Structure 1
């Protein structure tokens, strides 16, 4: 009988290859990530006290990427989600969870900042989110005009809803409120519902951390649920927690599980998921928090994953085994799902 060499089920052997881009001192927590049009990474920080930073990694696919500080927020403890609302204009949210009503949204405008690692964007507070409980993931719906600012949507993890923020006026209102955004009834006051949030080709996608599921619903350009649109449960994941995610050009959802230390690829349609990196003995994405694909010719298939460095007493099979937060580059080239 003729012997044939068949390709792996997913096109390439798993786990997917990766390399370290940068690592921060321990303890540290990088919460979210966005990619500028020039390919630079923007990283938000969860601080362990007042004073938190927005970081940048210029040319992350280069031979020696370095971290720079874009801006310091001296009275803010946590920066959560960040999204590009217009070319090189970003919106991020953050604040102080210990103080009710102390959350804000800012624009980070690189459009007139010039290039290079020393680019200094204009930082402007655009909204005081007094009604938000814990604003977390952020996404935007592209505007029709290139210079127009798109609709900005913000996940509220404890309120179990999605806010719509007007980046021009600072006004905000509820855009989406469905049961699948909320933590389960009786889960406790600190249970995290909607976490990661992404708009992709007419759909609003999200992870629900407590329900350990991935969902989507069709939304209009105004950020509101389309008439007659129903929430779809894309997948239920066998994990203890789901954090943020990215959606690739083929519609595959790449989600990190944070305390479970795994990166999974999820197929829309049948809900099949596969662990592509991480696990109890694999520290590649220890405490993964967010993910975003590169935007350059050399890293368009590279998924940049941020981490919090793991959880004490939960990391690596229950041992106190943590590390500094890091950014890793996972090569997804050749992966088929």
Structure 2
């Protein structure tokens, strides 16, 4: 979620009455420990890390939304710019007004894909060569939209992009081409009437045969099954009450336990398969408006964009492990 002209996201989330409350930890569930910041970035330079893709060596490729860059950060905190998205004349991007780079996905061959929102014909999915290089647009998305979260289904050879303003999950061929409105509906739409606070479908992951999407205004985590023919199944609400929910990732490949970044309160929550959740990381651990989570093995990566605190955008690492059952 890139910075808007005023702290809209903090007030944007319409959390309905009767939402599930956070519950205490139970035996056998994952725990998070040893949080530490490995890289501090500079907000004044537009270095607000928005989304994460992980490399085989454990380094993280981050989109820096306002700088329009893709940055590689090693586990030791060394940084290298992989690509810069082209400047756009007179951007008219919904929500933020300026051109921003948002979601990122990595293919097995190292190719990176990013969403670029500009309010112009440059809005869409762009490809970055493995190890960095000149980005190239492979698909146009509506300039009136705000393509945010992005995920790749390698088996089907398609990308899924969550549009925060148009309440749509787009499906794009990995090779590029014409996008398809794959999933739509009220569950994906923004709930706030103010243009600078209209943020519906946001984070997106492909997990266990389904596309999972967060809705920031609604504070919900959604699951959309992928049918055998590739079409979208019915949208399921899997968790509610997640204030200012942004992106998320799953703790294990074969389970539906997730770690979710909640931007407004600068928290990360553990979301259980039954939809209940508890906070596991806070500002005291180094979070500053976190926007994305990535998990590999026992390591958790969290980006803090500092959109509203305007202090200490960073990349934080922590450990995740399964608690022994009683």
Question: Could you state the TM-score of these two structures normalised by the residue count of structure 2?
Answer: 0.80
- Find out whether 1:291 has 2:303 as its counterpart: no
Please point out which of 212, 219, 222 is paired with 1:215. Answer: 222
For 1:212 and 1:92, locate their aligned partners in 2 and report how far apart those are by CA, in whole Å. 24
Would the aligned equivalents of 1:33 and 1:44 in 2 still touch at CA under 8 Å?
Answer: yes
Seen in structure 2, the aligned counterparts of structure 1 residues 218 and 23 have a Cα distance that, compared at 3 Å, is same
1:223 Cα offset (Å):
4.6
2:279 aligns to what? Answer: 275
For 2:242 and 2:207, locate their aligned partners in 1 and report how far apart those are by CA, in whole Å. 24
2:101 aligns to what? Answer: 79
- Superposed CA RMSD: 2.5
- Find out whether 1:255 has 2:267 as its counterpart: no
For 1:327 and 1:182, locate their aligned partners in 2 and report how far apart those are by CA, in whole Å. 29
- Find out whether 1:326 has 2:314 as its counterpart: yes
For 2:128 and 2:135, locate their aligned partners in 1 and report how far apart those are by CA, in whole Å. 5
What number of residue pairs does the alignment pair up?
286
Question: Could you state the TM-score of these two structures normalised by the residue count of structure 1?
Answer: 0.77
1:167 Cα offset (Å):
2.7
For 2:246 and 2:154, locate their aligned partners in 1 and report how far apart those are by CA, in whole Å. 24
**23-32 vs 202-211, greater mean Cα deviation:** 23-32
Q: What is the SS of the residue equivalent to 1:133? A: coil
1:208 Cα offset (Å):
0.4
Structure 2: gaps of 5 or more residues: 1-24, 89-98
Seen in structure 2, the aligned counterparts of structure 1 residues 310 and 189 have a Cα distance that, compared at 3 Å, is closer
Q: Please give the residue correspondences for 1:64-213 in structure 2 after superposition, counting only pairs within 5 Å.
A: 64-75=76-87, 77-96=99-118, 99-110=119-130, 119-121=131-133, 123-131=135-143, 133-143=145-155, 150-184=157-191, 187-190=193-196, 191-213=198-220
1:37 Cα offset (Å):
2.8
Please point out which of 278, 284, 305 is paired with 1:308. Answer: 305
1:31 aligns to what? Answer: 50
Would the aligned equivalents of 2:159 and 2:173 in 1 still touch at CA under 8 Å?
Answer: yes
Seen in structure 2, the aligned counterparts of structure 1 residues 105 and 13 have a Cα distance that, compared at 3 Å, is closer
Of structures 1 and 2, the one scoring higher in RCO (CA 8 A, sep 6+) is: 2
1:95 Cα offset (Å):
3.3
Q: What is the SS of the residue equivalent to 1:155? A: strand
Seen in structure 2, the aligned counterparts of structure 1 residues 12 and 202 have a Cα distance that, compared at 3 Å, is closer
Q: What is the SS of the residue equivalent to 2:187? A: helix
Would the aligned equivalents of 2:291 and 2:304 in 1 still touch at CA under 8 Å?
Answer: yes
1:89-142: CA deviation from partner (whole Å, max 9, x where unpaired): 22111132xx344413111231xxxxxxxx444633212224551000001212
For 1:122 and 1:102, locate their aligned partners in 2 and report how far apart those are by CA, in whole Å. 15
For 1:41 and 1:213, locate their aligned partners in 2 and report how far apart those are by CA, in whole Å. 26
Q: What is the SS of the residue equivalent to 2:33? A: coil
Structure 1: gaps of 5 or more residues: 1-7, 111-118, 145-149, 295-299, 313-321
Q: What is the SS of the residue equivalent to 1:215? A: strand
- Find out whether 1:19 has 2:36 as its counterpart: yes
Seen in structure 2, the aligned counterparts of structure 1 residues 166 and 40 have a Cα distance that, compared at 3 Å, is same
